[in-house]
A and B are shown apart, each in its own frame.
Chain A
Amino acid sequence: MENITGTDLILACSAIGAGLAVIAGIGPGIGQGIAAGHAAAAVGRNPGAKGDITSTMLLGQAVAETTGLYGLLVALLLLFVKPLVP
């Protein structure tokens, strides 16, 4: 333990932080699942509107995905840009 420098500690904590940051992926996962489920129900009720429902669902899912991508960006920044290392 004596030869762990401060930089090593910061890198290790950055890796843990990156792992914690991608937990943000849970939210979009649930949200996209709900959107897909409701879209499936809507297609079941009204099969004629399949095209409109699909495009609306994809648009909504892509917007919902953004928060998860912010978490991914934070993780990538921590791992590869290393902003905390002096």
Chain B
Amino acid sequence: MEHEILMASGTDVDFMIHGLFSYELFGQTFWITTSHVCILIVMLILIGFALVVNRRMKRATKVPGTLQNIAELIVEKLDGMVHATMGKRGRGFANYIGTVFMFILVSNISGILGLRPPTADFGTTLPLGLITFFLIHITQFRYQRPKEIWEGMCSPLPAWLPIWLPINVISEIAVPISLSLRLFANVLSGTVIMALVYALLAKIAYGWPAVLHVYFDLFSGAIQTYVFCMLTMTYISNAMGDEA
């Protein structure tokens, strides 16, 4: 292996994504990169946690033990967050929001394990933004009639005068781009700064970069996770229209 998976393993400034090996498919060259490996590690962490919790919850007790307590706390908090933002109609979305929340949170925090956070790769965040984008519009078509959607797209002007339509279409297309770029750029900026600290201050970078990790990985990562999920929920509940 030419490059190490772990960051801060070299002495030069290095925060790029590295290809580990490539393969040919339909005449295109595809690369398996460090991002894939880090996503795999994040997934293994989450799947392992889920399996352990699942085994524990099969013999759940009335007075919860430590692990049961943690699992119930996570589920309760996520359900409460979805319910507080989307109301009663948002119950079905708690699965998606919870999954995305845990994936992004563990991805962002994985910088503390020395991994390059998978969310610092635009190839990871753009799919997340696109899923949200399609979810918004599928929800819109499920909850609103086509006439209402057309009126919403021509919004400030009356429906028979669609001058404002292109601008509204652009603002709809901007949603996944801005969602994914926000997450990507935030995590990337933290990664870049940590790489600079480790590479350029290599002689004195002992111990104290932990403080920077707390800010850039824990605080910033948690905030961005919250913001991504919050915005997703807001967009979806907007797409649902007024409460019938």
Interface size on A, residues (CB 8 A): 13
Whether B223 lies near A58 (C-beta < 8 A) is yes
- Least CB distance from B216 to A in Å reads 14
**A-B contacts at CB below 8 angstroms, number:** 38
- Least CB distance from A84 to B in Å reads 19
- Sort chain B's interface into a size bin: 10 to 19
Q: Is B182 an interface residue (CB 8 A)?
A: yes
- B195-233 CB mask vs A (1 if < 8 Å, else 0) is 000000000000000000000000000011011001100
Whether A70 lies near B226 (C-beta < 8 A) is no
Q: Is B99 an interface residue (CB 8 A)?
A: no
Whether B227 lies near A63 (C-beta < 8 A) is yes
Whether B181 lies near A69 (C-beta < 8 A) is yes
> Chain B contact residues: over half helix, strand or loop, or mixed?
helix
Q: Is B236 an interface residue (CB 8 A)?
A: no
Whether B181 lies near A62 (C-beta < 8 A) is no
Contacts of A80 in B (CB 8 A): 16
Whether B181 lies near A76 (C-beta < 8 A) is no
- A38-70 CB mask vs B (1 if < 8 Å, else 0) is 000000000000000001001100110110011
Contacts of A85 in B (CB 8 A): none
Whether A72 lies near B230 (C-beta < 8 A) is no
Q: CA of A62 to CA of B185 in the docked complex: distance in angstroms? A: 12
Contact of A59 among B16, B185, B226 (CB under 8 A): B226
